[in-house]
């Protein structure tokens, strides 16, 4: 990943005169600032996930999309703002991940379209560009939903259209855009009842707010580093992402739970920890703090010594980073894909675990993309999976609702004959694969696969990442929850209990087979106990058990 160089913010102009135009290089600086500020607030955006499941990755998806946009222009000396915006939009398009990332890329695409090849951007062009951003983003979604990032970009564009008739100062217009975004985000729960029920605002809209606020902070000369950020909620800390940022010389991961004698001064706390190591994260919840850091082996005790000087620690965990990375590589053992014959239909499927990948391979997929909850592949990754295959006929199975837009984007930029069968779960994807005839007509096979999606119900068992009341279900963080076709229905104390409760909510009389795909953290003995219990409860049903290997979800259950 290319890193940004804007360590301390400087103003776009050194004077206090109104900023009436900017060129390509100044736009690149604004992009860099927005990337840094979004990164600083990434976990806050992630924490706004409506559902208490471990897939709250809107902030991560938007950040990776912005990073791809910046990587596209990081070395560019282009001063023409239209050409610069076009390159930014192209980078965002190919790097788009998740629904939020794809919509963000469409916002950039519309912005670039309005600028065309113009050398500079003034207030009128800025207003026109935001209007085109709004239009392009709405057109990119089949069923636009208000109370989302779409509403926020719409409200921003309307505010700037009105303001651009009375001021030519781009700095003032940006301030108005930030305020409009802030107000729009705050109002999203009034437009989308599920947000109000969960007590959060829209995460994608909040991410867009931080993008604009980062630009504003850069112009005003304010800091853009993470020490300026509020502590993230404890439930939103995702330490798995930190493995992607391990730098040379970092040998030990240290996580400490602690309380403080005095109120925590976050700026000095971050500053001190940054002197010790990297990948610093801090979470707060349940009357305590949690600190995460990567350090050199000979500094592994320094974080604890520092915490002891400012408070009292209750739990300390240390892990060998190199060993973690080696184990991660070991898990990525290959699976054998069947021979693919030139000209046949190539099915590209997304899989969250090795076991599921092996099953997909056995059913005849031509390419498998690793991805799923918390790990949405980019447009470019999906595109690369099939662009070099010796066929013009491609079917994509996203197997996750948050990958569908990226799959459709890959289809739109490919010259091949591509169909996206919008499978939103692994059971749906497997059901669709049973309709594959590699030598058949691609359009007909794709239609058959779409039909197969409705022939299976999907149950998912996972651990709640936050406390919330949703769909009449009281959920406490750490409890085991069950979802049926994406709807939260039960909460229990164990996987077995939640599984049993969830199946009782499903219409089992209409189904004949129960297939369990168990996750990477499930013990074989527990899986055996659950399957034997289900055999007693449903003696007339065929019950199968497969290793799925998926993270986060203890069980994915297919009801056929």
pLDDT tens profile 35-87: 999 988 888 898 888 777 777 689 989 999 999 999 999 999 999 999 999 99
Instruction: Find out whether 541 and 512 touch, Cβ atoms under 8 Å.
Output: yes
- Percentage of the chain beyond pLDDT 90 is 66
For the cut 60, the answer to whether the pLDDT of residue 247 exceeds it is: no
Element (H, E) at 415: none
- Cα separation, 330 vs 60, in Å, equals 25
Q: Would you state the torsion angle of the CA atoms of residues 162, 165, 171, 176, taken in this order, to the nearest 10 degrees?
A: -20
Q: Evaluate whether 253 touches 321 at the Cβ level (below 8 Å).
A: yes
Whole-angstrom Cα Rg for the chain? 25
Whether the CB-CB separation of 346 and 386 falls below 8 Å is answered with yes
The residue that leads in pLDDT, 475 or 149, is: 149
CA distance 89 to 106: 8
- The answer to whether 454 and 381 have CB atoms below 8 angstroms apart is no
72 close to 88: Cβ distance less than 8 angstroms: yes
User: Span 24-229: which CATH code?
Assistant: 1.25.40.340
Q: How far apart, in whole angstroms, are the C-alpha atoms of residue 288 and residue 59?
A: 24
- Average pLDDT of every residue of the chain: 88
What's the pLDDT at 416?
95
User: Domain limits of the chain?
Assistant: 24-229, 233-328, 334-453, 457-559
Residue 13 above 50 pLDDT?
no
> Quick one: pLDDT at residue 68?
93
Cα separation, 169 vs 177, in Å, equals: 12
Summarised one tens digit per residue, pLDDT across range 451-463 is 999 999 999 999 9
Closest C-alpha among 206, 203, 137, 129 to residue 173: 129
Q: Which CATH superfamily is domain 334-453 in?
A: Phosphotransferase system, mannose-type IIA component (3.40.50.510)
Task: Compute the distance between CA of residue 355 and CA of residue 348 in angstroms, rounded to an integer.
Answer: 17
Cα separation, 429 vs 351, in Å, equals 9
Per-residue pLDDT tens over the stretch 387-437:
999 999 999 999 999 999 999 999 999 999 999 999 999 999 999 999 999
Q: Specify the CATH architecture of the domain 233-328.
A: 2-Layer Sandwich (3.30)
334-453 and 457-559 have identical folds = no
Count of CA atoms in the C-beta half-sphere (13 A) of 240: 12
What CATH number was assigned to the domain covering residues 457-559?
A: 3.30.1180
Read off the pLDDT band of 227 (50, 70, 90): very low
Global pTM value: 0.80
Q: 77: which residues sit within 8 A by CB, 6+ positions away?
A: 25
Instruction: Kindly indicate the confidence band of residue 8, based on its pLDDT and cuts at 50, 70 and 90.
Output: very low
Q: What is the pLDDT of residue 237?
A: 57
Q: Which residue(s) pair with 557 in the sheet?
A: 459, 516
């Amino acid at each position: 990943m290319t890193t940004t160089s804007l360590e301390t913010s400087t103003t776009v102009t050194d004077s206090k005169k109104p900023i009436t135009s900017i060129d390509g290089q100044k736009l690149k600086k604004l992009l860099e600032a927005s990337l840094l500020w979004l990164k600083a607030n990434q976990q806050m955006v992630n924490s706004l996930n409506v559902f208490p499941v471990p897939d709250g990755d809107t902030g991560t998806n938007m950040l990776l999309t912005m990073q791809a946009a910046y990587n596209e222009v990081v070395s560019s000396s282009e001063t023409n703002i239209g050409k610069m915006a076009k390159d930014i939009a192209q980078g965002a398009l190919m790097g788009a991940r998740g629904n939020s990332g794809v919509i963000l890329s469409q916002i950039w695409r519309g912005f670039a379209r309005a600028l065309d090849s113009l050398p500079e951007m003034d207030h009128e062009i800025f207003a026109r560009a935001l209007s085109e951003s709004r239009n392009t983003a709405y057109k990119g979604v089949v069923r636009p939903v208000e109370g989302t990032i779409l509403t926020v970009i719409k409200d921003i564009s309307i505010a700037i259209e009105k303001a651009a008739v009375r001021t030519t100062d781009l700095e003032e217009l940006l301030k108005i855009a930030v305020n409009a975004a802030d107000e729009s985000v705050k109002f999203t729960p009034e437009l989308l009842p599920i947000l109000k029920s969960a007590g959060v605002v829209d995460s994608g809209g909040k991410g867009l707010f931080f993008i604009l606020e980062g630009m504003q902070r850069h112009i005003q000369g304010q800091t853009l580093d993470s020490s300026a950020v509020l502590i993230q909620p404890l439930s939103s800390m995702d330490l798995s992402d930190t493995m992607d940022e391990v730098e040379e010389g970092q040998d030990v991961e240290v996580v400490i739970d602690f309380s403080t004698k005095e109120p925590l001064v976050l700026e000095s706390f971050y500053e001190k920890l940054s002197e010790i190591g990297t990948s610093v994260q801090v979470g707060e919840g349940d009357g305590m703090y949690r600190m995460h850091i990567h350090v050199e082996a000979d500094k592994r005790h320094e974080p604890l010594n520092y915490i002891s000087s400012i408070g009292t620690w209750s739990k300390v965990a240390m892990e060998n980073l190199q060993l973690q990375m080696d184990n991660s590589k070991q898990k990525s053992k290959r699976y054998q894909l069947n021979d693919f014959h030139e000209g046949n239909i190539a099915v590209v499927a997304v899989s969250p675990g090795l076991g599921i990948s092996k099953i997909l391979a056995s059913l005849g997929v031509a390419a498998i993309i690793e991805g799923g909850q918390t790990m949405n592949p980019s447009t470019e990754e999906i595109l690369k999976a099939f662009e070099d295959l010796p066929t013009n006929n491609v079917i994509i199975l996203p197997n996750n609702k948050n990958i569908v837009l990226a799959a459709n984007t890959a289809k739109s930029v490919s010259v091949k004959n591509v169909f996206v069968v919008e499978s939103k779960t692994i059971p749906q994807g497997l059901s669709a694969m049973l309709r594959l005839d590699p030598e058949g007509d691609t359009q007909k096979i794709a239609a058959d696969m779409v039909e197969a999606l409705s022939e299976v119900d999907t149950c998912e068992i996972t651990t709640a990442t936050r406390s919330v009341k949703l769909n009449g279900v009281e959920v406490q963080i750490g409890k085991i929850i069950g979802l049926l076709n994406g709807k939260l229905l039960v909460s229990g104390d164990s996987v077995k209990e939640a599984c049993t409760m969830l199946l009782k909510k499903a219409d089992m009389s209409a189904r004949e087979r129960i297939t369990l795909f168990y996750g990477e953290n499930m013990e074989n003995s527990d899986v055996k106990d659950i399957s034997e219990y289900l055999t007693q409860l449903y003696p007339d049903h065929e019950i199968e058990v497969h290793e799925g290997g998926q993270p986060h979800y203890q069980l994915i259950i297919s009801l056929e």
